[in-house]
Amino acid sequence: GAGRVANYSGVEQAGLTTNKLGITVDEHMRTNVKGVWAIGDCIGDPRSPKLAHVAFAQAEVAVDTILGEDAVMNYDAVPNVVYTHPELASVGLTEAQAKEKYGDSVKAARFPFAASGRALALGESAGATKIVTAGKDGRVVGVHIAGPQASELIAEATLAMRLEATVEDLIATIHAHPTLAESLRGAALSVIGKPIDTAR
């Protein structure tokens, strides 16, 4: 996390295995010691960002596992937020990462908040929503938002990624008007070459 360092000194005496990042755990948050689980900043999984909401999800997986359920931690759709002005939020792959992973099937497009009636009414029209898709079906593999209430808007994008939604799924979703959330649909329309609004 911001300005904090996990203190996991002495865990080796308890028999816990560690790596240079922290305590090693499996996908159920179990350590190598029977009956011991670890979550949050102290774990040594390079896929795990040091974020409170990730630790909450890890805790749920650990508790569900303890209760006998087959819960697994999934890092494919973890939102990241920077609380600046304007806010920054992202989930999934950048366009460059997607091209490295999926090649030429990647498409990306932006919807500028300057084309959003709601953003203009709020006096916060700086920034944009960007969608990154991959594959013939245009599955959403990344969303990046710089603009008003990005921390709130990223939730829909995270759900879309979790459900393996396509760009057509986003387009088919009716969004209330005028809202900032329409920027996600606007970016999706731009991906397929049919932008509905443009900045004036």
Residue 59 burial class via C-beta count within 10 angstroms: exposed 0-12, middle 13-18, buried 19 and up: middle
Query: Could you read off the pLDDT of 116-156 as tens digits, one per residue?
Result: 999 999 999 999 999 999 999 999 999 999 999 999 999 99
pLDDT at 29: 98
Query: Could you read off the pLDDT of 163-186 as tens digits, one per residue?
Result: 999 999 999 999 999 999 999 999
Q: Which residues contact 15 (CB under 8 A, 6 or more apart)?
A: 32, 33
Q: Which is the catalytic residue, given 28, 53, 175, 177? A: 177
The C-alpha atoms of residue 34 and residue 59 are separated, in whole angstroms, by 17
Dmax of the chain from CA atoms? 64
Q: Which of 78, 43, 186, 183 is nearest to 124 (CA)?
A: 183
pLDDT at 5: 73
Residue 177 falls in the annotated catalytic set: yes
Q: Which residue has the higher pLDDT, 2 or 105?
A: 105
Two structure tokens written together for 157: 């994008």
Q: Which residues pair with 110 in a beta bridge?
A: 130
CATH 3.30.390.30 residue window(s) in the chain? 80-191
pLDDT at 2: 57
Query: Could you read off the pLDDT of 47-102 as tens digits, one per residue?
Result: 999 999 999 999 999 999 999 999 999 999 999 999 999 999 999 999 999 999 99
Asked if pLDDT for residue 8 goes beyond 80, the answer is no
The C-alpha atoms of residue 145 and residue 118 are separated, in whole angstroms, by 16
Q: Please report the DSSP string for 32-80 in residue order.
A: SSTT-B--GGGB--TT--S-HHHHHHHHHHHHHHHTT-------TT--E
Q: Superfamily for 80-191?
A: FAD/NAD-linked reductase, C-terminal dimerisation domain (3.30.390.30)
Please give the sequence-ordered ranges of beta strands (E in DSSP) within the chain, or none if there are none: 18-19, 22-23, 80-82, 87-92, 107-112, 128-134, 139-147
pLDDT at 105: 97
Residue 174 burial class via C-beta count within 10 angstroms: exposed 0-12, middle 13-18, buried 19 and up: exposed
The C-alpha atoms of residue 61 and residue 63 are separated, in whole angstroms, by 6
Asked if pLDDT for residue 3 goes beyond 70, the answer is no
The alpha carbon of residue 88 and the mean position of all alpha carbons in its chain are separated, in whole angstroms, by 12
| Residue carrying the six token digits 């799924």 | 169
Q: Which of 170, 148, 175, 145 is nearest to 159 (CA)?
A: 170
Instruction: Please give the order of strands across the beta sheet that includes 128-134.
Output: 80-82, 87-92, 139-147, 128-134, 107-112
Q: Is the pTM of this model over 0.85?
A: yes
DSSP state of 177: S
